[in-house]
């Protein structure tokens, strides 16, 4: 008897209006489990990084002049993959059922006999309004809220929006979606049907993202604000008494780095923590990855290395070193017992934290997170003469730590556990950076500096950095690399960590550090 293939299931998931943190817990859970994910530009692309590595990721949106997938084609892809027994997520900006065409997809799935589930999302009205400091309701002045689309489908014979009724409604907030190109028409109708021209109004562009822009005015002046400020989609309009609250209770746009475009140059797999810290401070972050890393295959395995002699110290100077060393240990099916009797030194809180993930507590961390400080401070408490030390590192040649340890009489064996490569951003990323520049550039190693200039070119690199408000180096070695490329105006983080760099940036932009 022929076995029937079991059909899969489709989840229509609301991704929220922009901020990736606004997706629901349930939505994120199914996204992580999906076999196939269909997404478009309205869903924050960061969310795609949560998908399984082997998941199919299908773009079904619009890219100007490049790509367009119709709604019918999107539905066909949903049904096809579900019929193949796959778990499918249709990731949609905002909420699937609020101007998101989720109902059309649900009906089609029902007719095709496909099991589906709708996971609601934060819609632009509630998300963008909250981030702009505009309550949609207020007990003393607004008791109802109406969501409206200003862009109705062209095949309708009659307009469905009752503008005359809306214009006369009291104690009401109107939220208008997809209205940038139609705002002149909307304003004329509302005022024409009797809405007072002094009614408070606001427009919010890129709501809940760190590139958000919001402007409050009156309905009479709303159109001129749209054109003078060059407002672009995605944007929503809020018309009603509570729009006037924006200046009083806005919070999102008051963050210390809000509106600052910050470029980070770390390896992609190391950028997330820095990205998160900057985003929390309000920065509009661009990741321009200049380096990538991969595990190395040392000539000796760890078990053989440690058995050759009695080692006094094992030194880690980076998160990469800690991460790849313990990956190699895992490959050899070793655990921390093999390190018994060896003291651990590490540079930086990030390295120390990464070691703790492997249940290793550093015996020594210098107060200043530099190679020079490690040797200087360790030699005050430990006679390094004759000590046997393993220095964990990458395949880079410049290694002052090893030289300083040897000059203090230590016997140092270097153990390379990872390789560094120059990343190759695509032409779009490079041209976009050259065209738009940034308010700040952050460099976390000598390699990020050298690779940045190698990728961008010396002339364009100098132009970009010299035109930025802030160029920041994590420490003196990185700063030295900037000098070698002709950059003289830069900040060195007083604490040589990712957190220290972010705090330095905040202090510069707040005026605590004169720049």
Residues identified as active-site: 40, 62
* Separation CA 315–CA 345 (nearest Å): 5
* Separation CA 85–CA 102 (nearest Å): 21
Cα–Cα distance list, 397 to 320, 401, 420, 480 (Å): 16, 11, 11, 16
Residue 319 · residue 354 · CB < 8 Å: yes
* Separation CA 236–CA 196 (nearest Å): 20
Count of beta carbons in the 10 Å neighbourhood of residue 151: 14
Q: DSSP per residue over 51-92, as a string?
A: S-TTSEEEE-SEETTTEE--HHHHHHHHHHHHHTT-EEEEEE
Q: Helices (DSSP H) in 338-426: which residue ranges? A: 349-356, 371-381, 400-407
* Separation CA 504–CA 268 (nearest Å): 22
Q: Which of 374, 377, 379, 369 is nearest to 391 (CA)?
A: 374
Residue 334 · residue 358 · CB < 8 Å: no
């Amino acid at each position: 008897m022929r076995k029937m293939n079991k059909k899969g299931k489709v989840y229509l998931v609301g991704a929220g209006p922009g901020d990736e943190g606004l997706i629901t817990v349930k939505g994120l859970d199914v996204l992580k489990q999906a076999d196939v994910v269909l997404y478009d530009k309205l869903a924050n692309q960061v969310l795609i990084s949560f998908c399984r590595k082997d998941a199919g990721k299908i773009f079904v949106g619009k890219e100007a002049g490049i790509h367009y997938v119709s709604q019918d084609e999107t539905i066909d892809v949903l049904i096809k993959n579900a019929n193949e027994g796959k778990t499918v997520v249709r990731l949609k900006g905002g909420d699937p059922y609020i101007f998101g065409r989720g109902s059309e997809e649900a009906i089609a799935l029902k007719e095709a006999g496909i099991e589906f589930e709708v996971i609601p999302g934060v819609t632009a009205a509630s998300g963008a309004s909250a981030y702009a400091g505009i309550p949609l309701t207020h007990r003393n002045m607004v008791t109802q809220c109406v969501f409206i689309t200003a862009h109705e489908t062209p095949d309708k014979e009659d307009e469905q929006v009752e503008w005359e009724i809306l214009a006369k409604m009291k104690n009401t907030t109107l939220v208008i979606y997809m209205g940038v190109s139609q705002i002149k028409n909307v304003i004329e109708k509302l005022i024409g049907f009797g809405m007072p021209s002094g009614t408070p109004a606001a427009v919010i562009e890129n709501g809940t993202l760190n590139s958000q822009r919001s402007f409050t005015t009156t309905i009479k002046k709303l159109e001129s604000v749209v054109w003078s400020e060059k407002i672009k989609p995605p944007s929503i309009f809020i018309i009603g008494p509570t729009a006037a609250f924006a200046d009083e209770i806005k919070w999102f746009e008051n963050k210390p780095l809000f509106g600052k475009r910050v470029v980070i140059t770390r390896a992609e797999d190391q950028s997330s923590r820095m990205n998160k810290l900057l985003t929390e401070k309000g920065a509009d972050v661009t990741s321009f990855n200049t380096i990538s890393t991969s595990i190395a295959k040392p000539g000796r395995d760890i078990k053989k290395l440690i058995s050759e002699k009695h080692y006094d110290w094992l030194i880690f100077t980076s998160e990469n070193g800690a991460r790849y060393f313990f990956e190699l240990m895992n490959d050899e099916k070793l655990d921390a017992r093999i390190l018994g009797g060896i003291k651990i030194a590490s540079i930086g809180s990030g390295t120390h934290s990464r070691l703790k993930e492997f249940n290793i507590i550093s015996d020594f961390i210098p107060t200043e997170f530099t190679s020079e400080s490690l040797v200087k401070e360790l030699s005050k408490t430990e006679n390094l003469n004759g000590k046997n030390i393993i220095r964990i590192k990458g395949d880079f040649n410049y290694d002052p730590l090893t030289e300083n340890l040897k000059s203090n009489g230590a016997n140092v064996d270097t153990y390379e556990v990872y390789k560094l490569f120059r990343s190759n951003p695509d032409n779009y990323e490079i041209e976009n950076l050259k065209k738009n520049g940034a308010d700040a550039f952050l460099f976390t190693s000598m390699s990020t500096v050298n690779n940045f200039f190698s990728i961008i070119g010396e002339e364009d690199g100098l132009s970009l950095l010299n035109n930025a408000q802030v160029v920041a180096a994590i420490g003196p070695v990185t700063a030295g690399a900037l000098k070698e490329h002709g950059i003289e105006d830069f900040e060195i983080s007083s604490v040589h960590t990712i957190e220290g760099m972010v705090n330095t940036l905040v202090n510069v932009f707040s005026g605590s550090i004169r720049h």
